[in-house]
Chains A and B, each alone.
Chain A
Amino acid sequence: MLTAAFALAFFYAPTDADQGIIQKIFYVHVPMAIVALCGFVAGGVFAVMHLRTRDRKWDMRSYVAIHLSIVLAVGVLLTGSIWARASWGHWWVWDEPMLVVFLIVFLLYATYQPLRFSIEDPEKQATYASVFAITAGAFVPLCFSAVRMAQGLTHPQAGTMTTSGPASVSQTFLVALLGMTLLFITLWKYEMASKNASSKLRSLRRRLAGDDDFAPASGRSAAPQL
């Protein structure tokens, strides 16, 4: 799907009259930003489920969603910087609300793993991480509202790609967004499967060693202990 989207971006969508070829960066940058931010919010929703049910699987889901979103956020910052350099002549502009807010969100979530790692007790780790994920997840929509409310508006709005311009632009953008969403879901399931397999293995190892009772895994880890 993503390959199709990128093919559409280069061979179907017209070249932007203002920005020229560099506008094509948006077909990867904007969907990645939207999916990353939605992933952070999803992490918060999973964390709510964890606090409600006390089921560690929800903590694991939240952890994986946030982990993946951080990876995508790195991509957003890098591709955004490349576009800024091409368009504005600077790698970074501090007076653009959208850029700064996204950086703040990224730095906020960059503390998520160290927070988990600093708490040894798995129960407390899961609880505190969930509270963090909910609080930070609620903060994320500020990103979207910052774009809407920004007065400078030198940073293009995502909405303009779907509402203005030729239909081929919005179609390509929607295919790219769908592709990025599917990529996120696939990688999320992939990592979840890996984490579950690893957890089952550890449990099997304990049983083979004759220890049927739950015992915390050796060594501290930032990842949830199922």
Chain B
Amino acid sequence: MTVLALSGGDRYVAGAYVVFLLLVLSYLAIMAVKLSRIEREVVELAEIVEARDQTGDAPPPPPPPPAKRAKEPVA
């Protein structure tokens, strides 16, 4: 296995670029989690609408969205 030997300056440069990469990846990961939650809710609502179309009855009220007390948006 080849080990990349970095000098002092190289280490700092690599560190800075890795920090940037991690920041972007973390952001994308958080957004992906949120999008998957939205997708789950869409599927849930689609099932409710489908059930309503089949029975012709009034639909059961949809369950409340997952509780979010966090600062991060529900928007």
Contact for B17 among A28, A219, A224, CB less than 8 A: A28
Interface size class of B (residues with CB under 8 A): 35 or more
Tell me if A32 is interfacial: C-beta within 8 Å of chain B: yes
A184-202 interface code vs B (CB 8 A; 1 in, 0 out): 0001001100110111011
Stretch in A16-24, A44-52, A165-173 touching the partner:
A16-24
Contacting pair B48 A183 (CB below 8 A): no
Contacting pair B61 A210 (CB below 8 A): yes
Answer whether A86 and B74 are a contact pair too, CB < 8 Å, given A28-B17, A79-B19, A221-B68: no
Contacting pair B67 A219 (CB below 8 A): yes
Residues of B within 8 A of A107 (CB): none
Answer whether A82 and B16 are a contact pair too, CB < 8 Å, given A202-B65, A208-B62: yes
Identify whether the interface residues of A are mostly helix, strand, loop, or mixed: helix
Contact for B19 among A6, A22, A75, CB less than 8 A: A75
Identify whether the interface residues of B are mostly helix, strand, loop, or mixed: helix
Contacting pair A198 B62 (CB below 8 A): no
Interface residues in B35-71 by Cβ distance below 8 A to A read 35, 38, 41-42, 45, 48-49, 58-59, 61-62, 64-65, 67-69, 71
**B residues touching A (Cβ–Cβ < 8 Å)?**
7-10, 12-13, 15-17, 19-20, 23-24, 27, 31, 34-35, 38, 41-42, 45, 48-49, 58-59, 61-62, 64-65, 67-69, 71-75
A-B contact pairs, 28 of them (CB 8 A): A21-B7, A21-B10, A22-B9, A25-B12, A28-B20, A74-B23, A82-B15, A85-B12, A86-B8, A183-B24, A187-B27, A194-B31, A195-B73, A195-B75, A198-B75, A201-B41, A202-B74, A205-B62, A208-B59, A208-B62, A209-B62, A219-B67, A221-B68, A221-B74, A223-B72, A224-B73, A225-B75, A226-B75
